[in-house]
């Protein structure tokens, strides 16, 4: 059903137009959500939700080459979804902060009503 009028609620339309974020911010948000469009990256995030791990452990869990895991971790790190710390020669990865946990929880709740 379509509206026959030009603007139904001009005041509300103008208010929302004025509050709309800058295009650059919206593009950045779209890019951020694109990172979640890959199931391997989602698996890595889920694994890191459970524990801090090194590349070889993640590789072993997913049965994917370490080089492919490293590539995905670089993308996740660039998007500030994961961070790393060095423990001697070992590099351990974890989720960047509690916001990432909340994003994953909300995503799972949305699709399945599952608590993780």
What are the counts of helices (DSSP H) followed by strands (DSSP E) for the chain?
6, 2
Specify the DSSP class assigned to residue 37. Answer: G
If we measure between CA atoms, which residue out of 96, 102, 70 comes closest to residue 83? 96
Token look-up 């694109």 returns 34
- Cα dist. 34→65, 78, 79, 86 in Å? 23, 13, 10, 28
How many angstroms separate the first and last alpha carbons of the chain? 40
Domains of the chain: residue spans and CATH = 10-112 (1.10.10.10)
**Neighbour-count burial of 105, counting CB atoms closer than 10 A to its CB (0-12 exposed, 13-18 middle, 19+ buried):** middle
Q: Quickly state the pLDDT bin for 26 (edges 50, 70, 90).
A: very high
* Residue-wise pLDDT tens digits, 30-65: 999 999 999 999 999 999 999 999 999 999 999 999
The pLDDT assigned to 44 comes to: 98
Percent of the chain past pLDDT 90, that is, above it, reads 81
CA dihedral over 23, 29, 31, 37, signed as positive or negative: negative
Residue 95 reports pLDDT greater than 70: yes
- State the pTM of this model: 0.83
């Amino acid at each position: 059903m379509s509206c026959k009028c030009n603007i139904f609620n001009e005041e509300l339309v103008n208010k929302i137009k004025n509050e709309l974020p800058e295009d650059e911010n919206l593009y950045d948000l779209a890019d951020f959500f694109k990172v979640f469009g890959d199931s391997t990256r989602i698996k890595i995030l889920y694994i890191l939700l459970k524990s801090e791990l090194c590349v070889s452990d993640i590789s072993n869990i997913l049965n994917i080459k370490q080089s492919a895991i490293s590539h995905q971790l670089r993308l996740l790190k660039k998007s500030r979804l994961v961070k790393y710390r060095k423990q001697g020669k070992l590099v351990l990865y974890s989720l960047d902060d509690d916001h990432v946990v909340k994003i994953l929880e909300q995503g799972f709740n949305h699709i399945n009503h599952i608590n993780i």
